[in-house]
Amino acid sequence: MKASNVPFSAAEYERRIALTRAAMARAGLDALFVEDPSNKSWLTGYDGWSFYVHQGVILTHEGAPIWWGRNMDANGARRTAWLPEDNLRPYGDQYVQSTEHHPMQHLADLLKEMGLEAGRIGVEMDNYYFSAKAYTTLLTELPKATIVDATGLVNWQRGIKSGEEIAFMRKAARIAEKMVDGAVERARPGLRKNELVAEIYRDAIMGADGNWGDYPAIVPMCPSGADASAPHITWNGEELQNDQCTFFELAGVFRRYHTPFCRTVYLGTPPDAMKRAEGALVEGLESGLEAARAGNQARDIARALAAPLERAGIERGARCGYPIGLSYPPDWGERTISLRDVDETVLQPGMTFHFMPGIWADTWGLEITESILITENGPAETFCNRPRKLFVKD
């Protein structure tokens, strides 16, 4: 290890590199170019808010990965990644947001230098950070190479968490509990949403149990009343009101590892329809936790959730969860497995999910969720420990 700030052991990074290289071999790749910041960090430890420009990691079948990015961010790689100095290959600012040059021209030259001019190179084509312009530039600059879609190749290797990773998620869970506890305690009529979210952010960043909090890949979602029928509305300057519910979709984060956690608060007396939905949702959530066992399939969780909801006359067609772990904006999911009734992925010990059975009606929304760990034996373990209920404040 070179940098003093690397979060994991050398053996952990060796494990990750070995998994990825095996997947590359199955895909027949000579090299893999990774631009997703979560995947870059998972492979090298690199951490910085520099993903708004093109940067990436090149992995071949021998040697350490190569960090490639903007010259001013090379010191960030020196500070946070485990890579040797010779494996840092930055480009100059003439490539940044230029109409005459593109960073992929520099990347193509580097790949040629590595003997990959005619190689089979995997790229993350369906990814937030790899643009259409990046792809077409590589095609132009590497006409002899075969550019292959390797979307999700690294993501799938991240699915089963190591003990080191799970320890980080447990720390994030303590922060998530603190965030939800604070949101529920502070919620009252007349409190402005932005003031409440300011305190949520304070709890998030201050951390818990002596562990500092990192920024979340998704900002706090906290719509109220009819706005809560839309699952992805953030905050505004309006005041909380009586006879309205507000759900809080939050995540505690420690060193980029996320533990999402959602609860809902009602100010006043909730309507009967919401109470019935709460009962069905909690029953379905607990049935899903029971079904979340090693050897079962992802769809078993979704089907266990669906049965109580259907008996209550609630239709819910959306997926109800996704894998979680290390993430950067704009998403804290790993974009592989989906907890829905058609996903036959076999659950394995060490997999971690946000089991997220929200209900969004025409005039209100209700979220009661758990982040879970698939264990060796028995039902899933929940990372957080708070009552599964609609919190009512008269």
Residue span(s) of the chain under CATH 3.90.230.10 come to: 163-393
The distance from CA 151 to its chain's CA centroid, rounded to whole angstroms, is 16
pLDDT band, very low/low/confident/very high, at 66 (cuts 50, 70, 90): very high
Tell me the mean pLDDT in the region 115-132.
Answer: 97
**How confident is the model at residue 82, as a pLDDT?**
97
**How confident is the model at residue 2, as a pLDDT?**
56
Structure tokens at 243: 């006879």
Structure tokens at 10: 């050398």
H or E stretch covering 254: strand 244-254
**How confident is the model at residue 317, as a pLDDT?**
76
**How confident is the model at residue 96, as a pLDDT?**
95
**How confident is the model at residue 394, as a pLDDT?**
86
Q: How far apart are CA 383 and CA 371, in angstroms?
A: 6
CATH 3.40.630.30 is the classification of domain 163-393:
no
272-291 helix and 298-311 helix, angle to the nearest 10 degrees: 150
37-44 helix and 10-27 helix, angle to the nearest 10 degrees: 120
Each residue's pLDDT tens digit, 182-216 = 999 999 999 999 999 999 999 999 999 999 999 99
Query: Which residues are within 8 A (CB) of 102 and not within 5 positions of it... i.e. 6 or more apart?
Result: 95, 133, 134, 137
Tell me the mean pLDDT in the region 25-30.
Answer: 98
Q: Are 240 and 189 in contact (CB under 8 A)?
A: yes
Each residue's pLDDT tens digit, 298-324 = 999 999 999 999 999 998 878 999 999
Each residue's pLDDT tens digit, 221-275 = 999 999 999 999 999 999 999 999 999 999 999 999 999 999 999 999 999 999 9
Q: Are 346 and 295 in contact (CB under 8 A)?
A: yes
Q: How far apart are CA 304 and CA 71, in angstroms?
A: 51
Residue span(s) of the chain under CATH 3.40.350.10 come to: 10-157
41: phi then psi, degrees, rounded to nearest 5: -65, -40
Q: How far apart are CA 277 and CA 288, in angstroms?
A: 16
pLDDT band, very low/low/confident/very high, at 1 (cuts 50, 70, 90): very low
Whole-number average pLDDT of the chain: 96
Tell me the mean pLDDT in the region 146-159.
Answer: 98
> With 60 as the cut, is the pLDDT of residue 19 above it?
yes
Helical H runs in the chain? 10-27, 37-44, 74-80, 103-113, 132-141, 153-157, 163-186, 193-206, 272-291, 298-311
Nearest to 124 by CA among 204, 32, 208, 256: 32
* CATH topology for the 10-157 domain: Creatine Amidinohydrolase; Chain A, domain 1 (3.40.350)
**How confident is the model at residue 4, as a pLDDT?**
66
Q: Are 30 and 147 in contact (CB under 8 A)?
A: no
Each residue's pLDDT tens digit, 85-109 = 999 999 999 999 999 999 999 999 9
Q: What's the angle, vertex CA 77, arms to CA 82 and CA 324, rounded to 5? A: 75
**How confident is the model at residue 161, as a pLDDT?**
98
